[in-house]
Amino acid sequence: MPGPVRTDVSASSAYRGVVPEVEEGTFSNGVPYLRTGQGPALLVAAGLTTEHANPTGAVRRASLTWAAPFARHFTVHLVNRRPGLAAGTSMSDLAADYADVIEQDLGEPVLLHGTSTGGSIALQLAVDRPELVRRLVLAAAACRLSAEGRQVMAEVARLTAAGDTRAATAAIMAAGTPPRLRVLTRPAGWVMGQFTPRDQRDMLVTIAAEDTFDVEPRLDRTTAPTLVLGGTADGFYTRDLFERTAAGISQGRAVVWEGRSHVGVAGGKVPAAVALGYLLA
């Protein structure tokens, strides 16, 4: 059963008329979640975060705003990863945590939506435990990082380990936005980096796990109908990777927007609407 649950009165008040009441807690294996809405279970795996905890502040508001249309049809579980990861944790280990949540806490196969790193873990779960996934959406995610994406994340890990969180945040924000905007997002990321947590060990373990992630040879194990959403201006993936991922899955299809960035797909209203329609199909 889930751990202690707290009703988020401030969030539910802020979103009254937009999303139902929000509950916050941890599942039995320590995976944190925000839960909202009613209907079939939809597990939503977040992208890379500096710490493995439920979001707060502006990120929390943005997450709940994104979830609002989904919460009208599903019980949405916005999940992060378990905190306190051991060095050497693999993507299969992270996917196994979600498998435990589905089996021990939710009790039935789920609809699954994963964004960026969360999409990598969601796809790993669909490959390792296909019987637990009813339908899958991968937003700004694919079967592996591109060469450029690996280089960016290696630099982010190096800078973070060295304590230069400003430069690390600048690098990841620049790669997430269109090339024409990077002259603006890089300095903005540098400013924002001063507010990131000092202890980012969980993020570093996750980056290391995703560096070796590549399930292309095993995509045919995925039995869930799968939608891959991507953009041609993504600094972590290429059009080819999005399309190869969909092609490797028997019921896979890809929608790739010309000129959309990583952030533009991960948080955009149009990709979210396409994802919702696919999950409702």
Query: Do 222 and 93 fall into the same domain?
Result: yes
Q: State the total domains in the chain.
A: 2
Checking if the pLDDT of 8 tops 60, the result is no
Query: Do 233 and 249 fall into the same domain?
Result: yes
Residue-level pLDDT at 124: 98
Residue-level pLDDT at 20: 63
Query: Do 141 and 160 fall into the same domain?
Result: no
Query: Do 125 and 232 fall into the same domain?
Result: yes
Query: Do 25 and 161 fall into the same domain?
Result: no
Residue-level pLDDT at 33: 98
Asked if residues 132 and 108 have their Cβ atoms less than 8 Å apart, the reply is no
Which of 137, 172, 201 is a domain's end point? Answer: 201
Query: Do 12 and 116 fall into the same domain?
Result: yes
Query: Do 61 and 190 fall into the same domain?
Result: no
Residue 208 lies in a domain: no
Q: Higher model confidence: residue 167 or residue 138? A: 138
Residue 12 lies in a domain: yes
Residue 209 lies in a domain: no
C-alpha 115/C-alpha 139 separation (Å) is 5
C-alpha 197/C-alpha 85 separation (Å) is 16
Instruction: Determine which of 153-162, 195-204, 252-261 has the lowest per-residue pLDDT on average.
Output: 195-204
Q: pTM of the predicted model, to two decimals? A: 0.91
Query: Do 106 and 77 fall into the same domain?
Result: yes
Residue-level pLDDT at 12: 38
Checking if the pLDDT of 1 tops 80, the result is no
The amino acid sitting at 184 is L
Query: Do 32 and 97 fall into the same domain?
Result: yes
Q: Higher model confidence: residue 270 or residue 182? A: 270
Residue 124 lies in a domain: yes
Which phi and psi (to 5°) does residue 269 adopt?
Answer: -70, -40
Checking if the pLDDT of 85 tops 70, the result is yes
The three-state DSSP-derived secondary structure of the chain is CCCCCEECHHHHHHCCCCCCCEEEEECCCCCEEEEEECCCEEEEECCCCCCCCCCCHHHHHHHHHHHHHHHCCCEEEEECCCCCCCCCCCHHHHHHHHHHHHHHHHCCCEEEEEECHHHHHHHHHHHHCHHHEEEEEEECCCCCCCHHHHHHHHHHHHHHHCCCHHHHHHHHHHHHCCHHHHHHHHHHHHHHHHHCCCCCHHHHHHHHHHHCCCCHHHHHHCCCCEEEEEECCCCCCCHHHHHHHHHCCCCEEEEEECCCCHHHHHCCHHHHHHHHHHHHC
Supply the mean pLDDT for the chain.
Answer: 91
Residue 90 lies in a domain: yes
C-alpha distances out from residue 264 to 13, 177, 198, 278, Å: 28, 7, 28, 19
C-alpha distances out from residue 236 to 118, 210, 269, Å: 14, 12, 20
Query: Do 256 and 126 fall into the same domain?
Result: yes
Query: Do 138 and 155 fall into the same domain?
Result: no
Give percent of the chain with pLDDT exceeding 70: 91
Residue-level pLDDT at 187: 74
Asked if residues 236 and 266 have their Cβ atoms less than 8 Å apart, the reply is no
Residue-level pLDDT at 193: 62
Residue 210 lies in a domain: no
User: Beta-carbon neighbour count of residue 92 at 10 Å?
Assistant: 17
Residue-level pLDDT at 68: 96
Which of 160, 177, 201 is a domain's end point? Answer: 201
Residue 1 lies in a domain: no
pLDDT tens, residue by residue, 188-229: 766 676 768 778 999 999 999 999 999 999 999 999 999 999
Q: Which domain holds residue 42?
A: 6-145+215-280
Query: Do 37 and 96 fall into the same domain?
Result: yes
Residue 139: give its domain's CATH number: 3.40.50.1820
Residue-level pLDDT at 173: 86
Residue 206 lies in a domain: no
C-alpha 205/C-alpha 65 separation (Å) is 29
